[in-house]
Amino acid sequence: MSGPLSAVPADGGGSGELLRVENLVKYFPVRSTGMVRRTIGQVQAVDGVSLTIGRGQTLGLVGETGCGKSTLARCIAGLIPVTSGTVTFEGHDITNLPRRAMRPFRREIQMIFQDPYGSLNPRRRVGAIIGDPFAIHKTATGNERKRAVQELMERVGLNPEHYNRFPAEFSGGQRQRIGVARALALRPKLIICDEPVSALDVSIQAQVLNLLADLQDDFGLSYLFIAHDLEVVRHVSDSVIVMYLGRIAEAGPKDPVYDTPRHPYTAALLSASPAADPESAASRQRIILTGDVPSPINPPSGCRFHPRCPKAQELCSQSVPELEPKSGGEPTHLTACHYPVQAGEILASTGRREPV
């Protein structure tokens, strides 16, 4: 039930659908430096993204630095205004709502951030930090709040006796548990996880991923899960979206996207991310892209991937490919490419490694 928009029937927020994003655009103005700060351009951070997230489902979002993942997340959470497009939560249009009208939805949509160090105020005690949402939304006070906080601490695997400690007294993994407890406080329906485990070592990362999975089972949570580690995203997600420079390159249920990627960028990304297995690393076809991700200020014309794409042809720089199902694939598996990758097609490879 989660994925790109056209992958689900438009039932207007019926039983299965929790969140719907349609054609979301977010541009940031680029201003000149100097006395008069004129707008001289736009960062096209998110440029026409549509998606849905079903109840109890996890939608994974992957893509390289600067492709617009966090911006999309912050637009959905209502933390920054959108330039155009709509965000619908449980059938309610929550796009650019004024603060007061947004408040009930703020409780339902929570965020967890990457940096367990930077997102916690070092001078406040964890009990107070986790209890913040209760205070802001005036739902529990005094001893009742303390009890609720300690229950949350217990639930996320923190020792409730550490209620009065400061963030610095916790390890990275424990700090991420604090972030999870705070997000959980008001029993949200959707948690947006923006790189929640990227700063953690693998052994600790697995602890936090298991915790998120348990909480999803217990509370029927939905997740929008952003990460750059493709194996992590595959592990947690039901559906995935691959973004490139503000747009969706490919989207669908995770298995077809991972097993038979149709967009050359997805194929390159998958081939580039090293599997922790020497045999598959040695046998894998590697697509080494040339160049870096271009600037979202003056993105390339047509298909934004065309300057780096091994399959690019003339049409690619002239016309924007539609995000649509491709022949031979599942109808829910969508790709924005004029010349999608065919089964068994070899894009490019380097023969630098001998087999193990």
Ligand X SMILES: Nc1ncnc2c1ncn2[C@@H]1O[C@H](COP(=O)(O)OP(=O)(O)OP(=O)(O)O)[C@@H](O)[C@H]1O
Residues in contact with ligand X by CB under 6 A are: 28, 43, 45, 63, 65-71, 228, 296
Q: Which is nearer to other proteins, 82 or 197 (CB)?
A: 197
Which of the 8 DSSP states describes residue 10? -
Cα within 13 Å of Cα(116), Cβ side: 27
Is 142 or 344 the residue whose CB approaches ligand SF4 more closely? 344
Question: CB 68 → Mg ion: shortest distance, Å?
Answer: 9
For ligand SF4, what does the binding mask look like between residues 57 and 96, x meaning CB under 6 A? ----------------------------------------
Q: How many other CB atoms are found less than 10 A from the CB of residue 260?
A: 18
Nearer to other proteins, 73 or 269 (CB): 269
Q: How far is the CB of 107 from ligand X (least distance, A)?
A: 24
Nearer to ligand SF4, 159 or 301 (CB): 301
The CA distances from residue 223 to 32, 53, 73, 190, in Å, are 38, 8, 11, 6
Write the Ramachandran bin of 114: left for phi over 0, alpha for psi from -120 to 50, otherwise beta: alpha
Distance CA 338, CA 302 (A): 10
| Among the residue ranges 5-13, 68-76, 172-180, 343-351, the one whose residues contact Mg ion (CB under 5 A) | 68-76
Q: Which of residues 56-75 bind other proteins (CB under 8 A)?
A: 64-65
CA distance 22 to 37: 32
Selected from 151, 169, 218, 292, the binder of other proteins by CB under 8 A is: 292
In the three-class reduction of DSSP (H, G, I as helix; E, B as strand; rest coil), residue 102 is classed as helix
- Cα angle value 230/232/236 (rounded, 5°): 120
CA atoms of 23 and 59, how far apart (whole Å): 17
Q: Which is nearer to ligand SF4, 116 or 252 (CB)?
A: 252
Q: Please name every residue paired with 110 in a beta bridge, in sequence order, or none if there are none.
A: 191
Q: Token pair 């963030």 is at which residue?
A: 167
How far apart CA 163 and CA 156 sit, in angstroms, is 13
Q: Which does 28 bind (CB under 5 to 8 A by kind): Mg ion, other proteins, ligand X, none?
A: ligand X
- Residue 273 contact among Mg ion, other proteins, ligand SF4, none, beta carbon within 5 to 8 Å by kind: other proteins
Q: How far apart are CA 62 and CA 305, in angstroms?
A: 15
303 binds, among ligand X, Mg ion, other proteins, none (CB under 5 to 8 A by kind): none
Question: 84, 141, 164, 210: which one contacts other proteins (CB under 8 A)?
Answer: 210
**Least spacing, CB of residue 107 vs other proteins, in Å:** 27
- SS3 (DSSP) at 168: helix
- Interface contacts to other proteins, rule CB under 8 A: 64-65, 157, 171, 173-174, 201-207, 209-211, 213, 228, 230-232, 234-235, 258, 268-269, 271-278, 281, 286, 288-293, 350, 352-353, 356
